[in-house]
Amino acid sequence: EAAGRKYVLGAARSIAAQALWRAGDVAQAATALEEALALAQGIKHLLLEEHVRLYRLEAQLARGDQAAAREEAALLAEIVAKTAHAEAASRLETLNAELALQGGDRDLATRLATPLASAPNRVAAHQALGILARAARDPDVALGHAEAARAIAQGWSAPWHEAADVLLMARAVRSVDQATARTWAGEAAALATDNPYAAAGAGLLLRELGVDAPVPFAAGWQALDLGALRMAWDLKGLEPRAAAAPAAGLDPELFAACMEELALARDEAAIGQAALEGAMALVGATRGYVLSYDEGRLRQVVTVGASFAEVEGGFSNSIAEEVLFSSRPVYVSDASSDPNWREAASVVALNLRTVVCLPLAVPDRILGVLYVDRDDLEPLLGPGDVTLLRAFAVAAAALIVRERDRRAEAVAADLARLCNELGKVLAPTDPAATRAATLAAAVAATGADRGFWLGADGEALAGTAPFDPASVSRGIVEWVASTRQPLGLMDASNTEDWQGRGSVQALGLRTVWCVPAGDAGVVYLDAARMIEADPDDGLRAVEALVGFASGLV
């Protein structure tokens, strides 16, 4: 049991390190990796140690520390030989190719990366294609590899990776077609919603091409470790832009840039991130939240700079609720001295000076609030600045509402199409065939690995794979069967209320859908990976298909 706790803690520290590295906090990421490695070695868990050392090697390569990277690669080779872990072997080979490229040996890097570019492991293939694009001497060859890498990222719906791939495309053609390079560099900047390294690279390339474009999310730049930024993209002499608003008021160019980034956001999560990053840049804030209003309470959506759980009581009961229910912005220029707010738990805990809280609302809908704060009193904001910030928040709310409406229409259309297609193949006189057709349609609609129609006693009435009762989550099946409520979980092994269930942990489930079917049965689908689409959309699709077919069976 003690070893199990250490394993979980080690894995958690490794995940934390990845998040810190993505945010640009290299020092804390390195500390977290060292802690994870010590835990893995303490319990003599080779697979966990292998996992941690792979990320350590990636970090060393990103910092340009080739001596440490070579030593780490040699240790990893010994571990991979013992574990015979094919995925780890592929990742190690791509990192060896990266090491060769950083050492100036393009030919060796190309030889190592070429067979991996067509590997079934898409992560290794994506990394290999990026290496081949950077190693290629011919711009057309480099462009071909970069476009292939982008195709993989688009298949993942992963803007973080796609932004870096588009930037590689721009770099490949800049010497022969500057107009196309400018277009792609701009596209990379627009895609780099949460990839500060790609945003930095795109910003520098645009300046090299004569475009004085605003840098996306200036506050994010300021938070980056500059050494890591330079090593990651070879940005010699690059300095991050100041993010704080000038004393005379909001910077109009920065405001326009933030509005542009908001308009380019492509889904609700990206809109929320753009709204928060933009407001923080305009105010010069160090912490921020976007909170949604759902079922009568404020719920966390996005945070930057502090954990919502650390200040949830004071935050939700004071400034945020005032803004939420009055629909008016609150600007406090010295929160720790203001008699209206100085007793609030969040103000006391964080010693706040400047607080700006804006309603995320349109005339007919209240979505939540956008809250940012900083420790400094100056620069002060004037009434006109607060009016502009409120307009920024209203624009964000309107985009979110439009995206939700668009999504709802798309989901409704998809459900109608799915039911229409299913109706063409149902067999009213053959319940078994009807169940099988319904399962096939549900698996196709969700992207699940497999699906089962289970009867009241748990037996499989139909399935898209051989059924083994031990291979499904009995806890989830029993809960849906008893409550007759549908359940959709993204990353079920870490979802609150289910992470402690033995079946969920043992099976390594990542995405699960389960809906009631018939008198006491259920339809159960799962996947051993996280499905990129919203699991609620998948759940609605399964409900519609099962409801459509249930009357026949």
* pLDDT tens-place string over residues 460-471: 999 999 998 888
* pLDDT tens-place string over residues 274-306: 999 999 999 888 888 888 776 556 666 666 665
Residue 330 has pLDDT above 80, yes or no: yes
Name which residue leads in pLDDT, 167 or 160. 167
pLDDT of residue 106: 85
Which tokens go with 227? Answer: 């050494």
Which tokens go with 294? Answer: 């759902």
- Quote the CA–CA distance of 124 and 138 in Å, as a whole number: 23
**pLDDT confidence band for 24 (50 / 70 / 90):** low
| Range in 39-43, 177-181, 251-255, 500-504 the model is least confident about | 500-504
**pLDDT confidence band for 335 (50 / 70 / 90):** low
Q: Report the pLDDT averaged over residues 475-504.
A: 69
3-state secondary structure of 452: strand
pLDDT of residue 453: 92
| Residue 295 CB partners (closer than 8 Å, separation 6+) | none
Q: Report the pLDDT averaged over residues 242-264.
A: 71
Which residue has tokens 């490229």?
101
CB 456 within 8 A of CB 427: no
- Quote the CA–CA distance of 233 and 239 in Å, as a whole number: 13
3-state secondary structure of 292: strand
Residue 547 has pLDDT above 60, yes or no: yes
CB 61 within 8 A of CB 87: no
pLDDT of residue 304: 66
- Quote the CA–CA distance of 483 and 520 in Å, as a whole number: 10
Name which residue leads in pLDDT, 379 or 311. 379
pLDDT of residue 294: 64
Residue 220 has pLDDT above 80, yes or no: no
pLDDT of residue 129: 92
pLDDT of residue 340: 66
Average pLDDT, the chain: 78
Query: What number of CA atoms fall less than 13 Å from residue 505's CA on the CB side?
Result: 9
Residue 507 has pLDDT above 70, yes or no: no
| 348-383 CB burial, b ≥16 within 10 A, e <16 | eebebbbbbbbbbbeeeeebbbbbbbbeeeebebee
3-state secondary structure of 263: helix
| 448-477 CB burial, b ≥16 within 10 A, e <16 | bbbbbbbbeebebbbbbeebeeeebbeebb
| Range in 49-58, 247-256, 400-409 the model is least confident about | 247-256
**pLDDT confidence band for 498 (50 / 70 / 90):** low
CB 47 within 8 A of CB 79: no
- Quote the CA–CA distance of 281 and 285 in Å, as a whole number: 7
3-state secondary structure of 331: strand
Burial of 120: CB neighbours in 10 Å, binned 0-12, 13-18, 19+? exposed
pLDDT of residue 538: 78
Residue 312 has pLDDT above 90, yes or no: no
Name which residue leads in pLDDT, 552 or 96. 96
* pLDDT tens-place string over residues 409-458: 776 777 777 777 777 766 667 888 888 888 988 888 888 899 999 998 88
Name which residue leads in pLDDT, 150 or 363. 150
Name which residue leads in pLDDT, 316 or 270. 270
- Quote the CA–CA distance of 407 and 537 in Å, as a whole number: 9
Residue 375 has pLDDT above 50, yes or no: yes
3-state secondary structure of 361: strand
Share above pLDDT 70 across residues of the chain, in percent, rounded to a whole number: 77
Crossing angle for the helix pair 122-135 and 86-102, to the nearest 10 degrees: 10
pLDDT of residue 216: 46
Q: Report the pLDDT averaged over residues 1-5.
A: 81
* pLDDT tens-place string over residues 188-216: 888 876 776 677 777 777 777 777 655 54
Distances (CA, A) of 79 to 43, 84, 100, 121: 15, 8, 21, 20
Share above pLDDT 90 across residues of the chain, in percent, rounded to a whole number: 12
- Quote the CA–CA distance of 228 and 58 in Å, as a whole number: 12
Residue 40 has pLDDT above 90, yes or no: no
> What is the Cα gyration radius of the chain?
26
* Among candidate residues 339, 345, 305, 303, the one with its CA nearest the CA of residue 321: 345
pLDDT of residue 393: 92
User: Does the bond joining 431 to the residue before it have cis omega, within 30 degrees of 0?
Assistant: no
CB 510 within 8 A of CB 406: no
Burial of 384: CB neighbours in 10 Å, binned 0-12, 13-18, 19+? exposed
- Quote the CA–CA distance of 280 and 527 in Å, as a whole number: 38
Which tokens go with 176? Answer: 């022969």
